[in-house]
Amino acid sequence: MKNRKSIGPDNVPIEVWKAMGSHGVDLLTDLFNRILTTKEMPNQWRLSLIIPVYKGKGSVQDCSNYRGIKIMCHTMKLFERIIDTRLRSECTISECQYDFRAGNSTMDAVFALRTLSEAYRERRRALYMAFLDLQKAFDCIPRQAIWWALRFKGVPEAYIDIIRDMYRDSVSSVQTAVGESNIFPISVGVHQGSALSPFLFNVVLDVVTANIQDQPPWLMMYADDIALVNQNKAHLERRVNIWKDTLENGGLRLNVAKTEYMSCGGTDSGTIRIGSDLITKSDKFRYLGSVLHESGSVEDDVQARIGAAWAKWREVTGVLCDRKMPPKLKEQIYKCIIRPVLLYGGECWPALSRHTQELRVNEMKMLRWMSGVTRSDRIRNSFIRGSLGVRDVGKKLQECRLRWYGHIMRRPREYVGRRCMDMAVLGARSRGRPRKRWLDVVKSDMRANGLTEKDVQDRAK
């Protein structure tokens, strides 16, 4: 665990155990072994403090627009990590699930959908996508479903008893700007902020939907973010309704109001029906932080990244624009906070020169403010970048694409990204000059840097 984390109700930070060294390890080993033997944890661990965190959209007066994060005892979270490690060795999760699984990230899912839609669009074939949203998934999951799913996966009963005890008699209070609420019991859902909760949720979702899962990329799951893909609109509509019924049978609920439907490469402008509700087609959707557009354009995603970078800039502008701050510190803050937001998902973009130029223009505005100069000072961009130690954003974007291409090509052929790249889609291309694909941009990057396919297998390059 990292240092300087919010302290739980027992007021024992993780730094205490780290400072105690081997003696602390012995004490923790004795405590954890006692819990494993008695199957009962300290009662003080049952208390948590909920901090409401605004999601950043919707009315601030609506409680549903807040995410409750539980501040729990650090020692309990250490114990949870041990249980989590053992559970992962006991049961496996479907390859459709990309959340909290080694070797997978949001970019794997985003890249698969971008590449798949690109291939279908190139051959003038329609591709239909439905993005499902679960209503209060972590907060409303029935706890009986957790024990049932763990047994279904073959987890030893001893571990199930320990996890059940973690949730027995759990109580919490809410910290607000005007004070702390009274303590109240919690009898449903998993702990938001717990080290074990993501895996427990994934196990339940995997077991509940085991009989209706497709192979990726026709099904992509990242925790409770679910994307269904199909070549036929009627089949997609039927699959969505099957998912709705199956989730409800397992104690989960589909949020129809936030479920969206999009088609790529087709001319359909209609709707799909989920139960008694009609879902109108969207021309774009924000999937795992990246904006997917029905036309395949990355223009909306680039603009969203620029807007997000400026929002993050405003949070730290007091430091970055302070003339007393050394340039080296400004460089580190910019590279750690601003640039990752600006280039999130950039490795999957078939970016054109105008997109790179838009990023470059906005980044140079930030760098000039950091340096305390304006365009009227007639100082070259290269000098400003050099003084701050920040590379050109176009070069950095190129580096991200090449690194991601190497990552894909070093993965086995069963990897979803490679399957989407190698997929042969039947159909004829449209007349005229074809649209530049992501792979075309990567090949251009390789030629510009003197790289070959042999170099792709060398991680050092």
pLDDT at 461: 62
Residue 460: band (very low, low, confident or very high) from pLDDT cuts 50, 70, 90? low
pLDDT average, residue stretch 351-375: 93
Between 138 and 242, residue with greater pLDDT: 242
Residue 111: band (very low, low, confident or very high) from pLDDT cuts 50, 70, 90? very high
Full DSSP string of 70-124: EE--HHHHHHHHHHHHHHHHH----TTB-TT-TT--HHHHHHHHHHHHHHHHHTT
How confident is the model over 45-94, as pLDDT tens digits?
999 999 998 888 888 888 888 888 899 999 999 999 999 999 988 888 88
**Structural domain boundaries of the chain?**
14-291, 297-456
pLDDT average, residue stretch 333-339: 95
How confident is the model over 167-225, as pLDDT tens digits?
999 999 998 888 889 999 999 999 888 889 999 999 999 999 999 999 999 999 998 89
pLDDT at 377: 85
Residue 103: band (very low, low, confident or very high) from pLDDT cuts 50, 70, 90? confident
pLDDT average, residue stretch 102-124: 92
pLDDT at 434: 82
pTM of the model: 0.91
Arithmetic mean of pLDDT over the chain: 91
Whole-number Å distance between alpha carbons of 114 and 112: 6
pLDDT at 310: 96
Tokens of 351: 């970016």
Say how many CA atoms lie within 13 Å of 407 toward its Cβ. 16
pLDDT at 260: 93
How confident is the model over 408-450, as pLDDT tens digits?
999 999 999 999 998 888 888 888 888 889 999 999 999 999 9
Highest-confidence range of 87-91, 136-140, 153-157, by mean pLDDT? 153-157
Residues 6+ away with beta carbon under 8 Å from 223 = 97, 99, 100, 137, 198, 201, 202
Between 242 and 223, residue with greater pLDDT: 242
Residue 266: band (very low, low, confident or very high) from pLDDT cuts 50, 70, 90? low
pLDDT average, residue stretch 150-170: 94
